Structure 1
Amino acid sequence: MYEDTFEDDDGESQVPSITHARTAPPSTGGNNTSQTASVSHSATTSQLFAPPPLTPLSLIGYGERTKNKLLTKALAEEIRHLLPLRLQLYDTWRLCYSLEQHGVSLQTLYMMSAPPRTASRPGYVLIVEDKLGGIFGAYMNEYPHPSRNGRYYGNGECFLWKSKLIVSSLPGSENASTTSLSGSVSDSASTKSVNIQFKAFPYTGVNDYMILCDSHYVSVGGGDGKYGLYIDDRFEKGLSSSCPAFGNEPLSDAGQKFDIVGVEVWRISNF
């Protein structure tokens, strides 16, 4: 399980570089040529092994009248750092489906999630909001679509995740509280510190039960008769239990069963 907490802002994400430095030997009072060469080689090696900087993300697809936006840039950056390296470099995420914008239709979700032919190995982020304001979901290496012959698809790149906003009072203000990721921080925001509590549950290798969908539901993660995440075709009810595929805890604070408020699917690709 991966867990992190960071301040919720729209600043650029900082990616730690990988440095392979050497310590220069102490001078013996003679020629310092070897020491200088060692330091120079150390700097060159650090540059060669440092990953490229990540540019800030752009989220495209929300309508001007959309009120319930489930994905923020801060949350997207948390998810981004767990994606395959090829997808971390893409700085534009596109909204494929939104319950608010496109209505209640699982078939519409499937149709709009299908990637364009020009897209190269895209990834998908499924986001769910429950009635308690929790925001959670899954990363899928394939777009959601009905399974063939009732078989699971997807690979070990998939993972489940959950998050919530933690609003902490600064000295002299009111007590700390928790609020919805898609909601707004109340009146005394200037005296509060807002952080995202984020947890991710990667593939365990126990089984290959990643993605299973049909005309009645979407699910990610399985085994032992459990679903890591399950949403019905009317986007009203959901399930989340600890499953062998991801070894996750229930994603909703409501427990294994929860009421759905919002659903979104985002595509990460070159188009």
Structure 2
Amino acid sequence: MESSIKLTGRKSDTDAVLTEDIANALRMELPRRFRLAQVMTLLYSLDQHGISLHTLYRLVKENKGPCVLAIKDEDGNVFGAFLSESLRPEKRYYGTGECFLWKWNSTEPKIKAFKWTGKNEYMILSDMDFLAIGGGDGVFGLWINSELEKGHSQPCQTFDNEMLSPTPEFKCVELEVWGFQI
């Protein structure tokens, strides 16, 4: 059995989104080379760094590899995405087929991952107005506004995912971005 992932960089008084339990369950879904990571470092947190997409982009810029986006909605649901590249403002889609959406089932407890279908290459679309992961037919698998407070999730061609939240629209109360130390 591999050792547990260590999460670093989060202040003790910060409301956690990604827990060690979720990180270890998520690890089994990662591309093989990233499953070896022993440490994940918090790159951005709404709670620690404030509500600003500009700040998020600035803080994750130094991360040269993939990252995990983790969101907690107002009902306590936790979901997000594994992104093959760090988030940045870009006018077109970027990222590879290693990207996927996920949601945490706290009652079982386990991760449900929605991997790339190959139907399109709409992985990551992010500019100064929003973040979007997955798409097709005018919908996004996961979309968050520039204030990082409102989002929506719908089934999309990229991942053939379920809605990540119980309803298509959700209120984001916490958001974190994590990088890997390999």
| 1:147-193 deviation digits (Å, cap 9, x = unpaired) | 1xx21000100000011321xxxxxxxxxxxxxxxxxxxxxxxxxxx
For residue 262 of structure 1, what is the aligned residue in structure 2?
Answer: 174
SS of the equivalent of 1:136 reads strand
Give the Å deviation of 1:83.
Answer: 1.1
| 1:8-64 deviation digits (Å, cap 9, x = unpaired) | xxxxxx3xxxxxxxxxxxxxxxxxxxxxxxxxxxxxxxxxxxxxxx33211001112
- Note if contact 2:38-2:181 (Cα within 8 Å) is conserved in structure 1: no
- 2:123 paired with 1:210: yes
Task: Report the TM-score when normalising by structure 2.
Answer: 0.96
1:1-271 superposed matches below 5 A: 14=1, 54-66=2-14, 68-115=15-62, 122-147=65-90, 150-166=91-107, 195-253=108-166, 255-270=167-182
Partner letter of residue 245 of structure 1? T
Q: Which stretches of structure 1, 4 residues or longer, exceed 4 Å deviation after superposition?
A: none
CA distance in 2, matches of 1:115, 1:250: 31
Partner letter of residue 7 of structure 2? L
Asked which structure has the greater CA Rg, the reply is: 1
- Note if contact 1:95-1:264 (Cα within 8 Å) is conserved in structure 2: yes
Partner letter of residue 138 of structure 2? G
Normalized per residue, which structure has more strand? Answer: 2
- Note if contact 2:105-2:112 (Cα within 8 Å) is conserved in structure 1: no
SS of the equivalent of 2:106 reads strand
- Note if contact 1:87-1:269 (Cα within 8 Å) is conserved in structure 2: no
For residue 32 of structure 1, what is the aligned residue in structure 2?
Answer: none
CA distance in 1, matches of 2:110, 2:29: 15
SS of the equivalent of 2:94 reads coil
Identical counterparts, % of pairs: 42
Give the Å deviation of 1:245.
Answer: 0.2
Normalized per residue, which structure has more helix? Answer: 1
RMSD after superposition: 1.2
SS of the equivalent of 1:128 reads strand
- Note if contact 1:124-1:265 (Cα within 8 Å) is conserved in structure 2: yes
CA distance in 2, matches of 1:88, 1:198: 15
Unaligned runs of 5+ in 2: none
C-alpha spacing 1:56/1:83, structure 2 compared with 1 (3 Å): same
| 1:102-161 deviation digits (Å, cap 9, x = unpaired) | 001101101111135xx5xx21000111111100000000001011xx210001000000
Give the Å deviation of 1:252.
Answer: 0.1
Partner letter of residue 134 of structure 1? N
Unaligned runs of 5+ in 1: 1-13, 15-53, 167-194
Partner letter of residue 174 of structure 2? G
